[in-house]
Copies of this chain bind each other. A is one copy, B any other.
Amino acid sequence: MERQFDEDLAVLKEALMRMATLVEESIALSVQALKERNEEFIQQVLEREGTINDLEVEIEQMALKLIALKQPMAGDLRMIVSAMKMSGELERMGDEAVNIAERAQVLLKVPLLKPLLDIPRMVTLAQNMVRDSVRSYIDQDASLAKNICERDDEVDDLYDQVFRELLTYTIADPTTIPRAMELVLISRHLERIADHATNISEDVIYQVEGRTIKHHFEEKYPPENKS
């Protein structure tokens, strides 16, 4: 029975990793579409979304079945509940990638306002955060999870930077407003992806160290203490 449970949990973890890989690819493709001005990548993001949505349903059903049939105790139960939460976060990241792809589609019809520099940086950071957040869950690694929470501040800073830089463009030339706005919104979607990865990491910290630490951590590193 115990061994069967471990095997079931391994299947669940494997599905989560597959989901994370698809999300990572979607994020990269959505911005690549814009960077390389290639509409084909947008289609690839939309295709991945269907599979990501299916995986969320699959993971939730596996998890509920595991709880109902195996009646796991404390730690194992918490681990399965976290898997469900995590699949929800990953699914929302997939949605954000679709939002980016949709904005990219609009921007492909007009000349690019400026070369993309900070946005690709945000993509790399977000991708790594997604991968590591799932990794921190699989390994129950609270210190990796804390490191992800810190990286969230870098993403927030890049968002502010993109915002301010594009503002200067619009001040110099108000006709750039629509294009600048799309780019600001793309970086906002990336920032939200990082937020979802942070949510996963906070849950891992809770699993490993207990909730009190989570809130203390938030107090020590408030999500937005700039300005």
Specify how many copies of this chain sit in the oligomer. 2
Q: Which of A6-14, A76-84, A131-139 contacts B (4 or more CB under 8 A)?
A: A76-84
CB neighbours of A222 from chain B (8 A):
102
Interface footprint category on A: 35 or more
Contact flags A49-88 to B (C-beta < 8 A → 1, else 0): 0000100110010001001100101100110010011001
- Least Cβ distance of A140 to chain B in Å? 17
- Least Cβ distance of A196 to chain B in Å? 11
For residue A171, CB closer than 8 A to chain B, the reply is: yes
Using a CB–CB distance below 8 Å, which chain A residues touch chain B?
Answer: 53, 56-57, 60, 64, 67-68, 71, 73-74, 77-78, 81, 84-85, 88, 92, 95, 99, 102-103, 106, 163-164, 167, 170-171, 174, 177, 181-182, 185, 188, 199, 211-212, 215, 218, 222-225, 227
Q: Contacts A95-B218, A99-B224, A185-B227 known; list 15 others, CB within 8 Å.
A: A57-B211, A57-B212, A60-B211, A64-B74, A68-B71, A68-B77, A81-B81, A84-B85, A102-B224, A102-B225, A163-B181, A164-B181, A167-B177, A182-B227, A185-B224
